[in-house]
Amino acid sequence: MAEKKSVAELKAIASQVRRDIVRMVHSCQSGHPGGSLGCTDFFVALYFHEMNHDPKFNMDAKGEDLFFLSNGHISPVFYSVLAHSGYFPVKELATFRKINSRLQGHPATHEHLPGIRIASGSLGQGMSVAIGAAEAKRLNKDDSFVYVLMGDGEQQEGQVWEAAMYAPNHKLDHLIATIDWNGQQIDGPTAKINDLRDLRAKYEAFGWEVIESNGNDMEGILAALQKAKSLAGKGKPVMNLMKTEMGAGVDFMMGSHKWHGVAPNDEQLAEALGQLEETLGDY
Amino acid sequence: MTKFEILGKNDTRSGFGVGLLEAGQQNPNVVALCADLIGSLKMDAFIKEFPERFFQVGIAEANMMGIAAGLTIGGKIPFTGTFANFSTGRVYDQIRQSIAYSGKNVKICASHAGVTLGEDGATHQILEDIGMMKMLPGMTVINPCDYNQTRQATVAIAKYEGPVYLRFGRPKVPIFIKEDMPFVIGKALKLVEGNDVSIFATGHLVWEAVLAEEILREKGISAEIINIHTIKPLDEKAILDSVAKTGCAVSAEEHQMNGGLGDSIAQTLATHSPLPQEYVAVKDSFGESGVPEQLMEKYGLNAAHIVEAALKAIDRKRKK
């Protein structure tokens, strides 16, 4: 099991992960940098501080915390964090979205990439899978945590609400869900596409314990995850509504939906990398 | 006299119910999920014996498929139960991504398949499910023919590692597969030896094929009856060995002609041994309300239609 990193170390790792993300999507000229950058701090906090997990990777993960990525299009951040955690060689990030790679455009188990436990990309399915994994842990008398991350646009999928109804009714109180609440989706602001309205009230009405956090503040993320864990074991799943800035860390990618699914060109890559310190060495 | 004795009469879904209990007794990792159709799926006995291993998901089939996929992470062997329509078409993308592409050990158990669902009508009578499921890479597709074979299949799939679609039905039908007859996934079961035509049948149509064999025999025609309970992986050797002897084929299934067992057999024949084949299947149509026997007659799925198809196949063979 990995040691817990300090806040300064976590911030340094996050900077490298952001460099990886923009380099990966630039290299294959496709992919989703905006959401990946926005969720970088959260992923780093989970994998390098909060989660009890083993990069030797066992699918069943008995006695380990589990993480599921439902909004699979932010695969670049997932792959970079898994690689730096030791699940597979960092240099393999160079194969992202290319032929014969284990790093598919959206996460998949099919090529047996260590760290991935379910395919995701077609939205709305991850919370159901996390619920199943949490039910298996309960049957196995394993009180580890199951984490799931969803997009905010993804809340428009009906299956999310089937799962949202199930978890509190079945008292899955070791389930910690997070919504990447960046207010953007591919076609524009969520408020204009199909407004989510009051997410807190919705989840509370379904029976969840709801907390709010800032997903681009490392101390804030750690505090939120600590709070989520402290609320566990009391009969309710926990929903972390996490405000993030799409594109966080690269100024020209922030504040709009335009970088949801667009790769930077050579000049834009250079400009982005100029804003992100190379802390662990580029792959 | 048919070549098989009727041992009793029961629905195939009850075979699933006893098989599920048996699988649960044999392996503590077997768990079950249902989307508000416990009684229809005959899951009561399993739930009574293993309440903590049962998950009532409510009317939320998409969520059920995702939860089943998640349960495999942790070593469980989930059996989902609902009608065939809600087990496939309604949740195709969930099965595709979270189960098939992810290679999860989920058993999708689907009752009330086909027109023999009866009075509920076409909204519930799915006739496309075999096609949808067999197209998914890595998916095993099984459609047993009676109560005993459905029990055997249910126990067998619990021991098999990988995603499976198990299809069965609602009406009480003759039991004719003896309990000691073998059931091996992917291995066709030869029921009657014959020389003039090979009849490959699955599900409820297997008994109709047995009835057809008797009618053909009275006409002096020797029909070989092969029970294809596993549509995927298909026992191509059994099919090719049989047609090498008979020279023509009939496929029989309670499913659309497009994409069902018949098409799998046609693919096998076209690529290995092109020979005349006739389809007994639903011809690009939805079903409707009615009692099962009326519907089997109207949609061309009973013994008389198999006889007609066999005579046509033999005629085509002779004209070649």
pLDDT digits (tens, 9 = 90+) for A201-257: 999 999 999 999 999 999 999 999 999 999 999 999 999 999 999 999 999 999 888
- Cβ–Cβ contacts within 10 Å for residue B152, how many? 22
- Rounded to whole angstroms, the Cα distance separating A239 from A97 reads 32
CB contact under 8 A, B60 and A130: no
Cα separation, B40 vs B177, in Å, equals 23
Look at B67 and A129 and tell me if their CB atoms are within 8 Å. Answer: yes
Q: Is the pTM of this model over 0.95?
A: yes
Q: Which residue of B has its CA nearest to A142?
A: B74
Cross-sheet strand order for the sheet of A175-181: A66-69, A146-151, A175-181, A238-243, A209-214
Torsion angle of C-alpha atoms B130, B133, B139, B142, degrees rounded to 10: -20
Q: Which of A108, A117, A132 sits opposite B66 (nearest CB)?
A: A132
Q: Is residue A279 part of a domain?
A: no
A157 touches chain B (CB under 8 A): no
For residue A75, being part of any structural domain is answered with: yes
What letters, b where the CB count within 10 A reaches 16 and e where it falls short, cover A85-111?
bbbbebebbbbbbeeebbbbbbbbbbe
- Taking the C-alpha atoms of residue B255 and residue B127, their distance in angstroms, rounded to an integer, is 4
Nearest chain A alpha carbon to B101 = A110
Residue A106 lies in a domain: yes
**pLDDT surpassing 70 at residue A150:** yes
Residue among B195, B127, B185, B176 at smallest CA distance from B156 = B185
- CA B267 to chain CA centroid, Å, is 19
pLDDT tens per residue, range B205-251:
999 999 999 999 999 999 999 999 999 999 999 999 999 999 999 99
Percent of all residues in chain A with a pLDDT value above 90, rounded to a whole number: 98
Residue B86: Cβ-neighbour burial (10 angstroms; 0-12, 13-18, 19+): buried
Give the chain B residue nearest A157 (alpha carbons): B62
* Strand duo A184-185 + A188-189: pairing: antiparallel
Q: Can you tell me which residue has the tokens 């503040």?
A: A217
Q: Decide: A103 and A93 in contact? Cβ < 8 Å.
A: yes
In a domain, A281, yes or no: no
Q: Are B166 and B108 in contact (CB under 8 A)?
A: yes
CATH number assigned to the domain comprising residue A44: 3.40.50.970
Q: Are A63 and B74 in contact (CB under 8 A)?
A: no
Positive or negative, the Cα torsion across A38, A42, A43, A48?
Answer: positive
Task: Work out the angle at residue A252's Cα, subtended by the Cα atoms of residues A249 and A257, and round it to the nearest 5 degrees.
Answer: 95
Closest CA to A241 of A188, A197, A275, A281: A197
The pLDDT of residue A235: 97
Selected residues 4-43 of chain B with any CB under 8 Å from a CB in chain A: 31
CB contact under 8 A, B70 and A137: no
pLDDT tens column, A20-79: 999 999 999 999 999 999 999 999 999 999 999 999 999 999 999 999 999 999 999 999
**Is A191 inside a domain boundary?**
yes
B84, B82, B46, B40: which is closest to B63 by C-alpha?
B82
Residue with tokens 């090979």: B198
Q: In this complex, is the C-beta atom of B133 within 8 Å of any C-beta atom belonging to chain A?
A: no
B98 in contact with A, Cβ within 8 Å: yes
User: What's the whole-number mean pLDDT along residues A158-187?
Assistant: 97
Task: Indicate whether A268 belongs to any domain.
Answer: yes
pLDDT of residue A84: 98
**Given a cut of 70, is residue A142 above it in pLDDT?**
yes
Query: Could you say which residues from 40 to 79 on chain A have a Cβ atom under 8 Å away from some Cβ of chain B?
Result: 59-62, 66, 68
Asked whether A53 and A1 are in contact (CB, 8 A), the reply is yes
- Model confidence over A254-270: pLDDT tens digits? 988 899 999 999 999 99
Q: Which of B67, B69, B74 sits opposite A140 (nearest CB)?
A: B74
Check if A182 contacts B (Cβ < 8 Å).
Answer: no
Query: Rounded to whole angstroms, how far apart are CA atoms B62 and A163?
Result: 9
pLDDT in tens, B167-192: 999 999 999 999 999 999 999 999 99
Shortest alpha-carbon distance between residue B107 and chain A (Å): 14
Q: Is B62 within 8 Å of A127 when comparing Cβ atoms?
A: no
Q: What is the side-by-side strand order in the sheet with B189-192?
A: B189-192, B223-227, B197-201, B249-256, B277-282
Mutation target for A interface from B27, B94, B102: give the one with most A CBs within 10 A: B102
Work out the pLDDT band at A275, boundaries 50, 70, 90. Answer: very high
**Structural domains for chain B:** 10-175 (3.40.50.970), 189-319 (3.40.50.920)
Q: How far apart are alpha carbons A2 and A56 in whole angstroms?
A: 11
Residue A196 pLDDT: 97
For residues A267 and A175, give the distance between their C-alpha atoms in angstroms, rounded to a whole number: 43
| A167 → chain B, closest CA residue | B57
Angstrom distance (rounded) from CA B154 to CA B143 = 11
**Nearest by CB: A60 against B55, B69, B74:** B74
Q: Does A16 reside within a domain?
A: yes
pLDDT of residue A278: 98
The per-residue pLDDT for A1 is 60
For residue B71, which residues of chain A lie inside 8 Å, CB to CB? 132-133, 135-136
**Residue B98 with chain A: CB contacts under 8 Å:** 118-119, 125, 128-129
Whether residue A3 is predicted with pLDDT greater than 90 in this model: the reply is: no
pLDDT at position B320 is: 79
pLDDT value, residue A2: 64
Which pLDDT score, from 0 to 100, does residue A256 have? 86
**A contact test, residue of B33, B67, B91 with most A CBs within 10 A:** B67
- Contact between residue B133 and residue B260 where contact means Cβ atoms under 8 Å apart: no
Q: Shortest CB distance from A128 goes to which of B67, B76, B102?
A: B67
Best of B73, B93, B99, B161 to substitute, by most chain A Cβ atoms within 10 angstroms, is B73
A148 and B CB contact within 8 Å: no
Identity of the amino acid at A55? P
Provide the annotated active-site residues of B. Answer: 61
First to last CA, chain B: 33
Closest CA to B163 of B186, B140, B143: B140
Per the structure, the complete domain to which residue A168 belongs is given by: 7-273
Q: What is the mean pLDDT of chain B?
A: 98
Rounded to the nearest angstrom, the minimum Cα separation between A159 and chain B is 6
pLDDT at B198: 99
| DSSP class per residue in A105-167 | SS--TTTT-TT--S---STT-HHHHHHHHHHHHHHTT----EEEEEESGGGGSHHHHHHHHHH
Provide the mean pLDDT of chain A.
97
Q: What is the mean pLDDT of residues B106-130?
A: 98
Q: How many independent structural domains does chain A possess?
A: 1
Q: Cβ distance A103 to A283 under 8 Å?
A: no
Residues 6+ apart with CB under 8 A from B100: B136, B137, B138, B139, B163
- Which tens digit of pLDDT belongs to each residue from B44-93? 999 999 999 999 999 999 999 999 999 999 999 999 999 999 999 999 99
Q: Choose the closest CB to A118 out of B52, B60, B69.
A: B69
Residue of A158, A149, A204 lying closest to A180 (CA atoms) = A149
**% chain B with pLDDT above 90:** 99
Interface with chain B: mutation pick from A118, A169, A206, highest number of B CBs within 10 Å:
A118
Asked, for residue A212, whether it belongs to a domain, the answer is yes
CB contacts of B65 in chain A (<8 Å) are 128
CA gap A89, A283 in Å, rounded: 9
